[in-house]
Copies of this chain bind each other. A is one copy, B any other.
Amino acid sequence: MSTPSLLILPGDGIGPEVMAEVVRIIDWYGDKRGLKFDVTTDLVGGAAYDVHGVPLADETMAKAQEVDAVLLGAVGGPKYDVLDFSVKPERGLLRLRKEMDLFANLRPAQCFDALADFSSLKKDVVAGLDIMIVRELTSGIYFGEPRGIITEGNERVGINTQRYTESEIRRVAIAAFELAMKRNKKLTSMEKANVMESGILWRDVVNEVAADYPEVEVGHMYADNGAMQLVRAPKQFDVIVTDNLFGDILSDCAAMLTGSLGMLPSASLGAPMENGRPKAMYEPVHGSAPDIAGQGKANPIACILSFAMALRYSFNEGEEATRLEKAIEKVLADGVRTGDLLAGEGVTPVSTSGMGDAILAAL
């Protein structure tokens, strides 16, 4: 195979500085492990708007379609809050998800032993937590039509449409069942089938797919109960599959249980390309954190772990991914910490690039 290609979109806020550390890791893999990547860098979000007047230029979109994987930092910032909806930084991200058809968003919520104390939850409730949330990412109320703000009589009406086809539900359900098979063979699907017909269809299709995975124990939960159960006893879950909007909220809720948002990566996967690799974009779960941007305070680990997910899911380099994850665990066990995780004894505070140094040293 030719050298695999990566498109790097650092984006806004802390995006560029955390991505800079990822680039150092990528270079290390090229130099030391013979894993070379063909890297292109481009703009997304507010950074793209500043240059092109849109949060994702057509040429950037075209590149994203061609590469083997996209790595994205973060988008958004107060400077762009005044922009019209259609050109807000988020639209760049949503366009990538939609046009690359990245329907399966994998969001691990993992509690790192060394960091369990950072959770607002009791240690025994979260220590060892390891959940995988599979969120549908290309449909539902994020993209459904009709949408907009219309005028009726003399008042405005805000409209959005939740819309799911059988095949949209089926493909993300299959992705979730496949993951469940590789993990603990336990899957919980969440919707509001007691209130929404789209939830009824969701539940039906998940049950249909379940027939092909007799080994997987399948449960269904209403999304409100799901939120409660995540807070009450998160370790009851292994893989969770849910729609775009519920997934947005529930995966953030699950992420916060771990107490270390700066640690959590995500993968967004689509259908296989001609070379067999899935269309893919990798990004940290945290946002652009404009309040600390440009100060060398940001934790680059979530973004680096997103690259580890790329190694695993796009490049079939599971062992190299594990190597990187283990290096990060070691650094954390050694007490090396960015500003988001400073409390505790025997802790060595480092900057964003100091964390990169430590991880490279551990590699």
Please give the residue numbers on chain A whose beta carbons come within 8 Å of chain B beta carbons, in ascending order: 76, 85, 88, 90, 94, 120-122, 125, 141-142, 144, 147-149, 152, 155-167, 192, 194-202, 223-225, 227-228, 230-233, 245-246, 248-253, 255-257, 261
Contact = CB atoms under 8 A, between A and B. Distances in A.
A231 B228 contact: no
A266 to B, nearest CB: 13
Contacts of A228: 252-253, 255-256, 261
B120 A197 contact: no
Given A121-B231, A158-B198, A231-B231, 13 more contacts: A90-B195, A120-B122, A141-B196, A144-B159, A148-B197, A157-B164, A158-B162, A159-B161, A159-B163, A223-B249, A224-B249, A225-B252, A228-B253
Contact of A227 (B148, B195, B252): B252
B252 A224 contact: yes
Is the contact region of chain A dominated by helix, strand, or loop, or is it mixed?
helix
Contacts of A121: 120-122, 231
A158 B201 contact: yes
A200 B256 CA distance: 26
17 contacts: A121-B122, A121-B231, A141-B162, A148-B197, A156-B166, A157-B165, A158-B162, A159-B162, A160-B196, A160-B197, A227-B227, A227-B256, A228-B252, A228-B253, A228-B261, A230-B253, A253-B253
